Amino acid sequence: MRKIVINGGRKLKGTVTVSGAKNSVVALMPAAILADGIVTLDGVPEISDVDSLIDIMETMGAKIDRQGDTLTIDPRGLKDMPMPFGKINSLRASYYFYGSLLGRFGRAEVGLPGGCDLGPRPIDLHLKAFEAMGATLTTHESAMVFTAKDRHLHGAQIYMDTVSVGATINTMLAAVKAKGRTIIENAAREPEIIDIATLLNNMGARVRGAGTDMITIDGVEHLHGTRHQVIPDRIEAGTYIALAAAVGEGIKVDNVLYEHLESYIAKLEEMGVRMTISEDSIYIEKQDQLKAVHVKTAPYPGFATDLQQPLTPLLLLAKGIGSVTDTIYEKRVGHVAELASMGATIETRSNYIAYQGPNQLTGTAVKATDLRGGAAMVIAGLMAKGRTEITNIEFILRGYSNIIEKLTDLGADIQLIEE
């Protein structure tokens, strides 16, 4: 068993650099298999989700070379075959192979995706889009098989009943080589959508409107190789900003795009967090008294659901009564019981979190209930008096590149221990 051990109470100082976006790269890698040539991705984070995707793609015949944060993908030897179920079940983003394999082969056989248990995340929107483009679905055992008539999808007009990042990206991947025009209405607007569209267009696709609620895709016959820089991870950036406000004596967070975090930064400023925002970095000062606020998550450009958990430990330092309401994932509250075990005045009712502060946390044994909940436990451990032991750390390593090294460089007493 592996665990993270933190001796808390230290004040941290220095500079931390944000890695490439996890939520982009897990879609950029499946997108690369649509190309007829080599695709190079720069700024790829060192996370276990990337390792799983590499294993899956190599099993299917792709050649992949990794040098530091640069990933070179040669998909020309990729085979039309069932995907390896073991790795597929380990991460949610495996569903992006539905769209990319349909786009490349006109057929996709993929196991059901895994990932964090955050409540219902149905893939019915993905199925609706594929069926509109001419694919039929059959199921057997724990796999789904999508097959396009004559192995070719056709363009369609698709309205997303709810805003979904995953369904928007998957539809884009399937549509770029479909015959005719595809229009996605009520599309998600997240920065990761724009990042995927940029890669696809650099490969020769014709995608317009990414970043708005209507995306238009004119299918092309071939896509070529290219080189692409992954955008900075806005969730990692937000995590380190919250950490800096909680335990920092002056921390600079580098490789940040402020425009990706505007609603988050606005909430921090409402709390009284003092920051200096530059072109590609944010400097967080040592904080004095903070005030409690009410947080409500919403689709982009609203407050990101992925950031409510990393923010919660900082909220516990604020004076007054506040709340967090997650309108996206009703089960994204697993971190609350763990924080309460550390002495926090905090409780939850369904997707509603109520807290009162300020709190002094005490180190104890806790677990990462999911990826972002794990980040919350790391911040809480750094804030707490005494020793905190975090288990289920595989969740954390799925999404935070070199987190132990980055925090050690800031002065944290943190170790990854194997037992």
Q: Hey, which residues are catalytic here?
A: 116
Pick from 300, 282, 279: nearest CA to 243? 282
Residues 6+ apart with CB under 8 A from 77: 61, 62, 63
253 neighbors 276 (Cβ within 8 angstroms)? no
| 39 token code pair | 């695709």
Strand partners, 323: 294, 354
Half-sphere exposure of 350 (CA within 13 A, CB side): 4
As a whole number of angstroms, the distance between CA 250 and CA 15 comes to 9
187 neighbors 172 (Cβ within 8 angstroms)? no
| 135 token code pair | 């694919």
Residue type, 18: V
Residue 236 Cα distances to 52, 191, 310, 366, angstroms: 20, 14, 9, 21
Residue 85 Cα distances to 52, 95, 98, 144, 146, angstroms: 11, 12, 13, 11, 16
Residue 43: strand, helix, or coil? coil
